[in-house]
Amino acid sequence: MDLASDLLHQDVLFFSILYSMTTALFGGVVARQLRKQDLRVDVRSILILMMLFLGESICFVALPGYSGLSVFAVACLLSYCTLPGTGFLPIEGKAVLITGCDSGFGHALAKHLDQLGFTVFAGVMHLTGPGAEDLRMGGSQRLTVLQLDVTNSDQIARTFAKIKDDLDYKGLWGVVNNAGVLEFVADAELLPLNIYKRCMEVNFFGVVELTKMFLPLLRQAKGRLVNVTSVSGIIPSSVFIVKHCIVKAQH
């Protein structure tokens, strides 16, 4: 009798743990789903969570063992399928600053966000260049092309004042630090020091200075900061690989 009681107690404990793990897993998935909805919790989501905890108790008592656990797991899956979709955050009234929009990713991103409905401030190095002209001609009235050299403190300050005035103190929803240079790819001994300085001024100090300037507008709108980097920072160029292979072969 004692052995049977012990086995029954172990079974109850085992399935209690399984039910708890299933409930915790599904509850975590539901909570993550609700966070994706920008914390907009509707009545249906609350009812699903209440039915989840009620269903756990019913299945555990009415259908002990794996059968009850299987029914409960299927119920969790069906409940998840009925959750509302996440969708995208609303775009209306959101403004984004992008640096390095003369060409490449910055140019394409400025066009894309403009088409989606964002207010876009596109910083360019050459205000009369083909990239800037293309943005002005192909963009909507929401897209503003600005002269912005990230190594020029005066231009950063003027851009900040312009954007702050245009947004009427509403803040920036996004700052994309896209401007960057690679300069020349060569052996470290052959490159003059000014090449290194130029890369640091644009790719590092320019990013830091512009970010520090626009942080108040980002905080105001609870916005996002995006730093675009290059794969060249982690993968060596073919020039270095070839030289390394030649040196290794000579040894």
Higher-confidence residue of 82 and 167: namely 167
Q: pLDDT tens digits, residue range 135-162?
A: 999 999 999 999 999 999 999 999 999 9
Q: pLDDT tens digits, residue range 16-60?
A: 555 565 665 566 555 555 555 544 455 555 666 666 666 555 555
Number of H helices, E strands in the chain: 9, 5
Mean pLDDT of 71-100: 72
Q: What is the pLDDT of residue 142?
A: 93
Q: What is the pLDDT of residue 230?
A: 79
Which DSSP symbol is given to 32? H
Instruction: Tell me whether strands 224-227 and 119-124 are parallel, antiparallel or unpaired.
Output: unpaired
Report the share of the chain in percent with pLDDT over 70.
56
Cα distance between residue 114 and residue 20, in whole Å: 48
Q: 118 pLDDT band (50/70/90 cuts)?
A: very high
pLDDT exceeds 80 at position 229: yes
Cα distance between residue 195 and residue 148, in whole Å: 21
pLDDT exceeds 70 at position 124: yes
pLDDT exceeds 80 at position 197: yes
Lowest mean per-residue pLDDT among 63-77, 79-93, 99-113: 63-77
Closest to 176 (Cα-Cα) out of 98, 91, 94 = 98
pLDDT exceeds 70 at position 69: no
Mean pLDDT of 225-243: 69
Mean pLDDT of 174-201: 84
Higher-confidence residue of 127 and 239: namely 127
Q: Nearest 5°: CA angle at 30, between 27 and 31?
A: 85
Amino acid at 11: D
85-96 burial, b at 16+ Cβ within 10 Å, e below that, comes to eeeeeeeeebbb
Q: What is the pLDDT of residue 6?
A: 45
Cα distance between residue 149 and residue 128, in whole Å: 14
Sheet holding 224-227, edge to edge: 143-147, 119-124, 95-98, 174-177, 224-227
Closest to 166 (Cα-Cα) out of 156, 158, 177, 175 = 158
Q: Nearest 5°: CA angle at 104, between 102 and 106?
A: 65
Cα distance between residue 214 and residue 231, in whole Å: 26
Closest to 26 (Cα-Cα) out of 42, 44, 43, 49 = 49
Q: What is the pLDDT of residue 18?
A: 56
Q: 64 pLDDT band (50/70/90 cuts)?
A: low
Q: What is the pLDDT of residue 51?
A: 63
Q: Tokens for 198, please give them.
A: 């130029």
Amino acid at 148: L
Higher-confidence residue of 92 and 106: namely 106
Closest to 224 (Cα-Cα) out of 232, 233, 234, 215 = 215
User: Under a CB-based contact definition with an 8 Å cutoff, are residues 166 and 144 in contact?
Assistant: yes
CA distances from residue 240 to 85, 125, 151 in whole angstroms, order as listed: 49, 30, 29
Q: How many angstroms separate the most distant Cα atoms in the chain?
A: 92
Average pLDDT, rounded, for the chain: 76
